[in-house]
Amino acid sequence: MEKIKEISLGKVQKQVPSLELYTEKENHKPFTDGNVYAFINFKDSVNFIGNVSPSYGLDDIEIKTISEEFGDLFLIAGIGTKFTGWATIGYNVGEDKLVQFNTNGKQIMVELNKNNQEKLVGIIKGVHLNPPNLFVFRWANDTLEVSNINESMGFQNGYVALEQSDGKWLLKVGSLSQKNSESYYQYKGEKLIRIE
- With cut-offs at 50, 70 and 90, classify the pLDDT of residue 15: confident
Contacts of 150 (CB under 8 A, 6+ apart): 131, 133, 134, 158, 159, 160
The fraction of the chain above a pLDDT of 90, given in percent, is 9
CA separation, residue 173 to residues 4, 109, 110, 186, 191 (Å) = 40, 20, 18, 11, 15
pTM above 0.85, yes or no: no
Say if CB 20 and CB 38 are below 8 A apart: yes
CA separation, residue 16 to residues 38, 67, 79, 165, 180 (Å) = 17, 12, 17, 36, 49
Give the CA radius of gyration of the chain. 18
Say if CB 110 and CB 119 are below 8 A apart: yes
Q: Is the pLDDT at 14 greater than 90, yes or no?
A: no
Q: Is the dihedral of CA 103, 122, 82, 76 positive or negative?
A: negative
Q: pLDDT digits over 139-195, tens only?
A: 888 888 888 888 887 776 788 888 888 888 888 888 877 777 788 988 887 788 888
What confidence score (pLDDT) does residue 81 get? 80
What confidence score (pLDDT) does residue 89 get? 92
Q: pLDDT digits over 70-88, tens only?
A: 888 999 999 888 766 788 9
What gap in Å lies between CA 179 and CA 145, rounded to an integer? 33
What confidence score (pLDDT) does residue 102 get? 86
Residue range 9-33: mean pLDDT, rounded: 78
Residue 169 CA, distance from chain mean position: 17
Say if CB 134 and CB 146 are below 8 A apart: no
